[in-house]
Chains A and B, each alone.
Chain A
Amino acid sequence: MVLTKEERAHAESILDANPTLAPIPPKQVARILVASVIRKPSIVLAPFLRQVSTQVVERAELTFHWVTDFAASDTVAPEALTALSKFCSDTPRSTFTQHHSNLGADYGDGPTTRHWAPSAFARMGALKNQLIQKALSEGFDALWLIDADVICDNWTLQSLRDCEVPIVAGVYWTQWQRPLSDSAQIVHAGPQVWLRHPYQLDGHGYTEAEFRAALIARKLLRVWGLGACTLFRSEALTKGVSFAPVLEGLPAGPMSDGEDRHLAERARRLHLPLFADAWPDIWHMYHPAEYADGLKWQAQLSALRPVTPSFGDLVSVRITNLEQPGLAPQWVRGRLGMLGVVPEIEEALANLSVRDERVVRVHFPIHYPLEQYRLKSFLFHVKLLDAKHYRLPPVVSRELLVGAKTGAIVDATTLAPAQLEAALEEATAL
């Protein structure tokens, strides 16, 4: 009988006096459909296609499918279609179809933001539902639905998979209203995940400042609205989540009829929690005036990462208490050495390479805050999911005041305009 590498290692470990304990990795290769509805010029498509097709994923096979939504009046369409054709001919398992019912009058770019009519939301929802149907009928394990102007780093999809939840979106920040060059108006960037409809960043136990801080700290959070960079596991799709409009129950307001609100509300009614994964670095190519930055961002988002993290690097970690099987794992993100985990785990992480895992025995001291753990020891499974050099998430970093020596952060949105002005002056004076 021929043993696999893992089986042989396991067999040999039986005789090992000091074995390294680790679960045997699963062998299944997941089939993931990467899909998008596309109506963007080639200058946007180029970095988008490059980034989705160079995702670094573990035991997964990616299939790409695009649906175009160009109107007859879209002058950018021919060049974009050419780019898509080339991508599909160059990339295995990739296809696209063209949708022709867009009359071209219900959506457009303005000088500061985009404008949507209800018919555009409805059409977008219907097209995305087709992609869901494709994922279901062709038996994919997951669907990564991503907008064609969302430029992800190469480890985004793996991070979404690592979250192990039915529906999760990679978080990015956008200045939804772009300040005009001659405007003194302060416009803050916002995430594309929210807590209350149509777009409230407070509620469910958070103030807006707390929610923003948690996202800036790259945490994995439960949210009540998301979109544009969402991984659906097949069980969520099978349960019936979709972009079809819900008949009632959504509050009025700007974007209230957006197809993402309907999806979020449907998920809630199906008891499917939504999560926001703030670990990836993602840039939203939202404003035409910033399209020229695409290549710069593409390069930055593809930059190589450390194999083994050093002190101060950002790490994404999954920790499981092996002796408390009823306890959910914790996903911890932060800077190595400042993670806020027990010392044994922090030290173990410093010796791991990305995607490595190990079992760590933790000895809880007499003063440990959880009384029932005091003077006891437990085994923990620790996996280093990802690591990267420290940096703040794109776009929102523009409005954070960051201490030059300590990296301490003040979110400009939490200050009154006069305070912000004074803080900026004081920072300049330093």
Chain B
Amino acid sequence: MTEPQKIQVGAGMVVLTTYGMVTAETAQSLLEMRAFCERNGLRDIMWTWISGALVDKTRNEGVRTFLGARVNNQPLHWLVFIDCDMTFQPNVLDLLLATAYQQTPWADIVGAYCQLRGKPYLPTTDYGSGLWEASDPHCGPLEVIRTGSACILIKRPVYEKMEFPWYGVRPAPRPIDMLTEVDNFARIKMDGENPLREHPAWSKLETCAIQDAQRQQAQLPPNAPPGALFSSVGEDSSFCDRARALGFRIVVQTDAVVGHLDRNVITPDDHKKAMQELEQQQRWATGVLV
């Protein structure tokens, strides 16, 4: 059996992000990961906390710190964000680094496999649909167009090429609103005409946008507040969109599975469900399947 291949990775920074709360589970994961890094020679790492601000400002502060920091008088090569409501295996940093510098060295951004808190607990993997898509863990590194930033490694060139602020929530008007804006802008600038309308793609896009708007309208409850149709792109997806536009590539290392802590109110329904599960287990243990 051959020894695992060791690779040289430059110094980097781990930034833990929180508004103020650090869960016990995250603290435990962090201690174990730190011990793992020490044992395995991962020492050129700066560990820092950014707290007390909303998430986009926190991440921007983290990047600013990262870009200005030096280890052994050398600039840092990579930045890892870990949110303080995550749990992870001790080797998660090792996995992200191995992916970024050995398995898929062409990747500029490497995310872990992380799920959203709300049902159906989709993983933050977008393979090209513009939506979070259901996918399995433990399938190795997979290229995506977007992923979340709860546990993610970003290489330095991404931040150097992208303009400040790197992170920010982006309003997401409906396609019909954007087409209307472009149409209006074109007529203002082009003597009252929108030459793009002469292109066959325009009417096709407009038809799609109208259908999309009608579908959204139909799904709204009658008492929906004004503005219910407007949404926004989160700071992490927006960051991915900008990185992709600059030519950077993103993968999700689905072997790096991290947990997302949630809180819930225990209700009588939970008691009922738990009792039913107990009874079900007894039936299974007696060969009864239903």
Residues of chain A at the chain B interface (Cβ within 8 Å): 205, 319-321, 324, 327-330, 332, 340-342, 344-345, 362, 368-370, 373, 380
Pairwise interchain contact B286-A319, C-beta atoms closer than 8 A? yes
What's the Cα separation between A330 and B285 when bound, in Å? 10
Partner of A327, one of B272, B275, B282, B289: B282
- Contacts of A370 on B, CB cut-off 8 Å? 281, 284-285
- Contacts of A330 on B, CB cut-off 8 Å? 282-283, 286-288
Chain B minimum-CB-distance residue to A369: B284
Pairwise interchain contact B275-A321, C-beta atoms closer than 8 A? no
Pairwise interchain contact A319-B285, C-beta atoms closer than 8 A? no
User: Known contacts being A205-B272, A205-B275, A340-B290, is A324 close to B284, with CB within 8 Å?
Assistant: no
Partner of B284, one of A205, A320, A344, A373: A373
Sampled A-B contacts (6; CB under 8 Å): A321-B285, A327-B285, A330-B283, A342-B289, A344-B287, A373-B285
Instruction: Find residues 260-290 in chain B having any chain A CB closer than 8 Å to their own CB.
Output: 272, 275-276, 281-290
- Contacts of B275 on A, CB cut-off 8 Å? 205
Pairwise interchain contact B285-A341, C-beta atoms closer than 8 A? no
Instruction: Find residues 106-137 in chain B having any chain A CB closer than 8 Å to their own CB.
Output: none
- Contacts of A340 on B, CB cut-off 8 Å? 288-290
What's the Cα separation between A320 and B272 when bound, in Å? 25
What's the Cα separation between A373 and B276 when bound, in Å? 19
What's the Cα separation between A214 and B245 when bound, in Å? 59
Chain B minimum-CB-distance residue to A344: B287
Pairwise interchain contact B287-A341, C-beta atoms closer than 8 A? yes
- Contacts of A332 on B, CB cut-off 8 Å? 288
- Contacts of B272 on A, CB cut-off 8 Å? 205
What's the Cα separation between A344 and B289 when bound, in Å? 12
Chain B minimum-CB-distance residue to A328: B282
Q: From residue B219, how far is it (CB to closest CB) to chain A in Å? A: 25
Chain B minimum-CB-distance residue to A323: B285
Pairwise interchain contact A321-B287, C-beta atoms closer than 8 A? yes
Pairwise interchain contact B286-A327, C-beta atoms closer than 8 A? yes
- Contacts of B290 on A, CB cut-off 8 Å? 340
Given contacts A330-B288, A380-B286, 7 further A-B contacts (CB under 8 A): A319-B288, A327-B286, A330-B283, A332-B288, A341-B287, A342-B288, A370-B285
What's the Cα separation between A205 and B279 when bound, in Å? 12
- Contacts of B276 on A, CB cut-off 8 Å? 205
